[in-house]
Amino acid sequence: MNRHYPERPHQLGIAMIEALVALLVLALGVLGLARLQVSSLTESRNTNARAMAVQLAADLAERMQSNAAVRRANPAPNPYENGWGVSAAVAPDCLTTACNGAELAAFDLRAWKQNVQSLLPNGDALVFRSNTDRNQFGVLMRWAEFEARNESQATAAEAALFTRADDVSDATGAVGTGRADVTCPPDFTCHLVYIRP
């Protein structure tokens, strides 16, 4: 007895297509994890740089506090005030030589700016006196932005928090640095700290 069964359509290649789809899904998952890892690493590096900036500002405040001659006189301009890219004046080595207040300030500022440059990527700092409080100084530090940050996905508040120094309030509650000439340069991340030596 020979029965004829209707022919089944050939399903050749279905297993291959299923395998390719599974491979595509796996590849997308791995790419997503890689992007998450890079983003996490970038944010970790930004957080470390910001923590280092806070420590550097505290270091400068301690240096200013220990310079009694300048602290008591509080001259204008203060010898600790300094601009972007401006290297502190060459001063005697105050570790081996007795220095007056201005020489100690130049020595401290030079050593401190070298620390900023070595501890922050492409780091620099600007030290300025507050316009609203004669005893308060602003320390604005900048460093090269770490890549892989996705600014397009950041909210406006997050972008302002990480890239602008003018969203900070000083001792009197005035918003910003209080000075038009003190801003964060483009393509840098900045951190503003007010100190009172």
Q: Confidence class of residue 5 from pLDDT cuts 50, 70 and 90?
A: low
Question: Cα separation of 42 and 85, whole Å?
Answer: 26
Question: Cα separation of 127 and 97, whole Å?
Answer: 26
Token pair in block for residue 114:
């070298």
pLDDT (average), residues 16-44: 88
Token pair in block for residue 182:
């003190």
Q: Confidence class of residue 174 from pLDDT cuts 50, 70 and 90?
A: low
Question: Cα separation of 15 and 69, whole Å?
Answer: 83
102-156 pLDDT per residue, tens = 888 889 899 999 999 989 888 999 899 888 888 888 899 999 876 644 444 455 5
